[in-house]
Structure formats: C-alpha cells, structure tokens
Structure 1
Amino acid sequence: MSPIHLTDRKVVEVSGEEADHFLSNLLTTNPPDAEGQSVWWALLSPQGKIAAEGLMGWNGSAILLDVHDSVISAFEKKLRMYKLRAKVNAAMRNDLSVGWSPHAVAGDQNVFHADPRGGGFGFRVIAPTEAAEGWSKERSTYEAERIARGLAFLGSEFAADEQFPHDLAMELNSGVNFKKGCYVGQEVVSRMQHRSTARKRPVIVRGAANPELADVMLGERVIGRAGPAHDGKAIAIVRIDKVSNPEAATINGQTVSLALPSWASYAFSDSSD
C-alpha cells in the first residue's frame, strides 16, 4: 500500500544550532528525543487557543513540522516574528509532501515518523513532491482510522483560534508537556490542567451523515460541533458535562450516538444547570 497523500498539509523545516531550543520555547511540547519518533505540537495564541498544530520529528539535524494549509502563511509569519536573533532557519518546504501510512513504506527518499496519537496512528510520511506523485489521493482509509481513534484536527473539526489544547485532549496524546519552560499561551493551559476546568473533549459520533461542520444537539441545547462525516462516523468536540444521554444527540435533526475514544480518561457527566 502506497502512502495516502495529505494534500492539505504542508511542511515547514526548522534548522540551525538553536532549532530545538527555539521550538521548545514556542510550542506546547518539545521536539522528540530521537529520529523516527514524533510528537503532537500546537502553537497557541496568548489566550491559549490553537493557531496551528501538527506533528514534528527530526530529519537529520533539522526538524520537520506538518501544518494545515489554511494556516501555513500565518504560521510562517509567527515563526519569523518569534525568531528574533535566534540561530535558526525556518522555511516552508514546497518541494516536500506529507502523507500517511499504516506502516513504514520502503523508499530511500521517505522520512517516516511514528504517530503516537490515539494509541498509535500509523506513520507520517514526508517525501519529495515528485516521489509523492504516485501516492493515493483516496483518503477514506485515513479518515476511518483517524475517526476510530477520536482525533480532532485543525482544518477538519475546527479552525484556528477556536479551541484550546484540552478541547482536543492533546495532553493525553503527547501534545502538551507540563514540565517544560514557558511558551506562548502556557499560563492558560496550565491553569486548565491544575484546576481541572476542561469541559470540551473529542468524541466519536456514530450514525452521522453531515457533509460539513454541524452543531451537535441534545434536546434544544447545542453541546458542540461535529466535523464532516465519513461512512456514518465523525469526530465532534462537545461539552461532555452536558451529555446526559449519549444515545440521544442529534445532528441536523438526525439522531446520533456519542462514544468516547478508547484512550479517553474522561467521561460523560451531566451538569444540573
């Protein structure tokens, strides 16, 4: 099986003697310890909301980050702004493409990073764009695996500056390092963690048919938003404290059920208000 081409994701390369230090001071987590590994990162606004997110991993002495194309220009601009006098080079690699594969695929030009999200989400593949021309453009397998793991991504389930890292459960999927030093938006994220104030979480929707983003309702109350459905399933980010009956939710008037990802340490619970 050839990799699935994720045409909506772009590659940014950060290199230089201070690359590791620079990203550690900017993103929600540090670069991984070794090649072949990856971590889920986010760049936050000062208010703690996600401006960009993706995976990052080493390629030799450089760090490769994949970013959704809807925010790539803003992400590059922020890297330049925060760079100041740091000894780093940060540039979009238009000559590289991003793919996904359930397993490592042989190829001298392929760079593989194991994706730890959701208990193990295959491999991110980065290769020269010419080599990626033969990759599959059919995303159904990728979307099915992503939804089965309850993974909400920018560009699919939400837009920039809408959600906090806890709303995606990033702290449960290698995406937030609470032991590291300061980074943009850290105060908000740390406060949510220590006060246990996270109420919105990703859930799996079954019986969904919405082709676009849509409200998730419970009775007359909007409890969240669901991303586009694939084969009757979708990912929604919902207020889990408002879910009194996960079998009674609706999207566009159609009854759907809500389920927690297998890795979730949170639970549905109804508030009295």
Structure 2
Amino acid sequence: MLSLNEQAQALSAAQLAVGYVAPITDLGLIALDGEESAQFLHTQLTNDVEHLGESDARLAAYCSAKGRMLASFLMWRSAGTILLQLPREILPAVQKRLSMFVLRAKTKLSDATGLPQNAVVLGLGGGMAEAVLQTWFDALPAAPFGKLDHPLGTLIRVADAFGAPRYQWLMSAATAETVTPVLADKLNVGDNAAWHLSEIHAGVPVVGKATQEQFVPQMVNYELLGGVNFKKGCYPGQEIVARSQYLGKLKRRTTLVSIPDASAAAGMEVFATADPEQPCGMIVNAAPNGNGGVDALVEMKLAAIEAGSVRLGSADGVALTFLAMPYVLEPLDL
C-alpha cells in the first residue's frame, strides 16, 4: 500500500472543500521550557501568552522594533511546554533571535520539530473531515483555535475554510501508520501545497523568508484573526502596531486572489493599473490552485482592492482575479 506521502498530490479548492488530508512538511516547532516561559514570550509577541490555556491555540507575531513581522506563529501549550509553529526555513534564525533576549529568564528554547510526538503533522479539512476524525475522537474542538490532547496526539482546530473546520493533527510515526490508511481511504489526499492552499482560503498569512520585515500585523489582517492583543503590555514594535490601530494610519489590507501564473510567489510585487509607476502591494503566500495558476493572499493598498484592477509584476502583467474573503476586511481609515 502506498504511504500518504506517496499518494499526496496537488488539489484544487473544489477538492479541498469536499474533504482532504495532507502531510504538512515545511513547518517546524520551537519549544520553550521553564517556569518563566510564558512571561518571557508575553514580552516578545503580539498576543497574550500568560493566559494561554491548555485547551487553546493562538496566532501571534514576532515583530522588529519598527513593528514589522519577523515571524508569524501558531502557538499552544502542551504538558508544560509552550510551542511555536513557523516555517522551517526561518526557524533557526528566529530561535536564535528570541534566545538573545532571554537573559536571566528561566526558560530554554529548543527545536522540537523532530521529537517523536511531533513526527507526523497532518492537515485536515473540508466537509467530510469532521466525520472522519470522529473515528478516533469522541469530541472535537468546538471553535477555531481550540486544542485537545489525546492518546493519539495533539489536535488543533485552526481557522475555517470552505465553510468547514480545519485541523492540524500532530502525532507519532506509530499512530500515523494506524490512522493514515483510513484517512486516505475516506478523504482526498493532498500534498504540502494543498494544505497551504487551504490556509490561503482561510485568509491566514504565514510570514516566510521572502516576506520578513515587510508587514505591520494589521497589513496582513492579523488582528482580525485574533493574533494581536491590544490590552497586553509592551513587546518589540508595540507602539507602532498600536498607533496603526488607533490613529487610523494604515491604508492597506490583505485579500484573496487567483493569479493565472504558476510562477507567482511570496515576495513578488503587484501593481494597480491606475498607478502603474509603483507597486501597490506584495504577495504574502501563494499555492497552486489546480488550474495552472495560484491562489494567493496579497497585501495591497485599500484603494487598489476597491478598484479591483491589479496585475502581477507590472501594470502590464497578468491580471489578478479577486475572490471572496472568508471574513470581512475592516479598513483602518478612521
């Protein structure tokens, strides 16, 4: 029998909407252990870490002093450890930078990507996923960013897409051998890019090497996704993030588009036809859509979103087709 990785393939949005399972292979984990781990992270990230419960997961950003995102995390607690999930390509540098600020705090950072309990990470979603997961789980997280620990691993419900819940399931290799044949029999089997396509359709940005230090959190809708807590104490870049929120100076948002060019990738610029001399935005994330192009989250000026005439690479490039976002974009133009 073929393994899940051997069966994995690109999936379209329509196939994802039906139901899918996909190995997630390019995300890693930073673990923080020690009695002051929460207090330390609370002073570094945009979200509340001190009140992060065992049944919670949260998005959080790590910013430069200028309020620009160095990393985006999904974070949760597990058996006294706080875990930060982020792209593997930036994990070593982000871990090193965070470690520089530990000083005397009682916490230790380590790369937990390869630990046995995290050996396999599966993404699941679409209309059929919930019923299939109930093969093993009596109860599932009731809302996005709920988490449960189970003998078969950690199950985290993340932001919904296609009108259905999405989940990450972290498990041991032994558990994977048991459950993956059932999942592959009942769901479309996608590849790593298929998971990222579902993330894009959920409207959730992921900061990678190509986009570090490009965005204030609100530019990529992070506060709309619960990734910024404006009541917590200081962290790097906090004054700029707060000023963008309360003084209404931010005129940019991230929206969902389709681009008929398979080479479109994170970090590439887009141009509004009404203002062809300078870029109006940048691709945050992109993934193959099964139609020869990509679907993407693109950060751009609100005026460009409203006008709806934007092209890739130059004002003469291929046109972006705007798609419906899964949540309302609230402009910060108070």
Coarse TM-score class (shorter-chain normalised):
0.7 to 0.9
- The answer to whether the aligner puts 1:29 opposite 2:47 as a matched pair is yes
Cα deviation digits, residues 16-72 of structure 1 (max 9, x gap): 211221111111102364223210011111111111112001112111111211211
Distance 2:20 2:236 in 1: 38
Q: Does 1:13 align with 2:67?
A: no
Alignment-mate amino acid for residue 124 of structure 1: Q
Q: 1:99 to 1:23 in 2, by over 3 A?
A: farther
RMSD: 2.9
Inter-CA distance 244–2: structure 2 relative to 1 (3 Å threshold) = closer
Q: Percent sequence identity over matched residues?
A: 22
Out of 270, 273, 288, the position equivalent to 1:216 is 270
User: Which residue of structure 2 lines up, in the alignment, with residue 110 of structure 1?
Assistant: 153
Name the aligned partner's letter for residue 246 of structure 2.
H
**Structure 1 position 73 matched with structure 2 position 92:** yes
Structure 2: which 5+ runs fail to align? 1-18, 137-149, 181-188
Kept in 2, the 8 Å contact 1:37–1:114? The answer is no
Match of 1:150 among 193, 203, 224: 203
Q: Distance between the aligned counterparts of 1:192 and 1:120, measured in 2? A: 32
- Whether the 8 Å contact between 2:42 and 2:235 is mirrored in structure 1 is yes
Determine the structure 2 residue equivalent to 1:59.
Answer: 78
Q: Which protein has the bigger helix share?
A: 2
Larger mean Cα displacement after TM superposition, 136-145 or 175-184: 136-145
- TM-score (norm. length: structure 2): 0.70
Per-residue deviation, 1:120? 7.7
TM-score (norm 1): 0.84
Cα deviation, 1:119-168, whole Å, max 9, x if unaligned, reads 98622333346756896661354233222222221138x52112111111
Alignment of 1:126-137 (within 5 A): 126-128=170-172
C-alpha change, 1:180 and 1:169, in structure 2 (3 Å) is same
Q: Unaligned stretches of 5+ in structure 1? A: none
1:240 is aligned to 2:302: yes
Q: Measure the CA separation in 2 of the matches of 1:124 and 1:207.
A: 27
- 1:207 CA drift (Å): 4.6
Paired AA for residue 46 in structure 1: A
Residues 85 and 137 (structure 1 numbering): CA distance in 2 closer, same or farther, change over 3 Å?
A: farther
**Alignment equivalent of 2:320, drawn from 253, 256, 260:** 256
Counterpart CA distance in 1 for 2:219 and 2:160 is 15
Counterpart CA distance in 2 for 1:92 and 1:161 is: 23
1:50–1:67 CA distance, 2 compared to 1 (3 A): same
Contact in 2 for aligned 1:152/1:235 (Cα 8 Å): yes
Larger Rg: 2
CA contact under 8 A between 2:251 and 2:331: conserved in structure 1? no
Instruction: For residue 172 of structure 1, give the secondary structure of its aligned residue in structure 2.
Output: coil
Q: Is the contact made by 2:271 and 2:310 (CA closer than 8 Å) also made in structure 1?
A: yes
Q: Summarize deviations over 1:168-210 as a string: whole Å, max 9, x none.
A: 1111111000010111111110111111122221111135324
C-alpha distance in 1 between matches for 2:287 and 2:29: 27
Task: Give the superposition deviation at 1:114.
Answer: 2.1
Number of the residue aligned with 1:122: 166
* Match in the other structure for 1:228: 286
Shift, 1:267, TM fit: 5.4
**More off after superposition, 9-18 vs 141-150:** 141-150
